[in-house]
Amino acid sequence: MITRNGEETLDRALAGLGHDEAQVRLRAALEVGTAADPRSVDALVERCAVEPEFFVRDMLTWALTRHPRAVTVPRLVDVLGSECAQARSQALHTLSKIGDREAWPAIGRGLLTDPDDAVARSAWRAAVVLVPGGGERLELAAVLATQLGRGGRETRLSLSRAFVALGEEVLPVLRAAGAGAGAGVREHAIATERLVRDPDAGFGFALEEARRIMVGG
């Protein structure tokens, strides 16, 4: 049972989430997560959408993972339809940390191919954590394959890591995606296949090997 003093302390912590100083917001998120009062979930989720500092957002995510999944997961799933890219990205990131596969159906093609790179990367990371086994993994791989060659190095590395997490069963999907594709897509597909076979190879090394194969081929 929360006492009146406890409620006042929680109210102060919730108010601190919007403080001008990042360190104050960080401490507030820590306090809210420590209290783990379900009434805090909405405030934490709303702050995730606007918090400018990465390390504070990370604490907000931690605070949400401290709350009951039955409260947090439905609220985060609702946010996946937000027009705010940061809200979508942070909700996906938090869902990946919670790891509740009840959220899997909400991660559809629209998020996996989101035009915002940060959102797409978060969706890829969440999807490989939450996807069930069997055919759904291959279906996920097929959607991810449509994103090969997308964006800069960070985005391509993130996609490759998603394929690595799915494992060698998705290699045929990668090969099919690279066959007859443009140079950028083919290079990324070959490099990703190399990483799936040897996750310790390193992305830079895998790219160089892919370029050698393309020149030789």
**217 DSSP 8-state letter:** -
163 lies in a domain? Answer: yes
Which structure tokens are listed for 144? 């991810």
What is the pTM for the complete model shown? 0.92
Whether 119 maps to a domain, the answer reads no
User: Per the domain annotation, does 113 fall within a domain?
Assistant: no
| % the chain with pLDDT above 70 | 97
Looking at residues 58-68, what average pLDDT do you find? 97
* 210 in any annotated domain: yes
- pLDDT in the model for residue 4: 52
- Which token pair is 14? 């919730």
Number of domains, the chain = 1
With 70 as the cut, is the pLDDT of residue 172 above it? yes
Domain of 159 in residue numbering reads as 133-217
Please name the amino acid found at residue 138: L
Residue 15: Cβ within 10 Å count: 11
Q: Is there a domain that residue 138 lies in?
A: yes
* Residue 191, C-beta contacts closer than 8 angstroms, at least 6 positions apart: 160, 203, 206, 207, 209, 210
Q: Is residue 42 part of a domain?
A: no
Give the burial string for 118-131 (b: 16+ CB within 10 Å, else e).
Answer: bbbbbbbbbbbbbb
Examine residue 19 and state whether it is found in any structural domain, yes or no: no
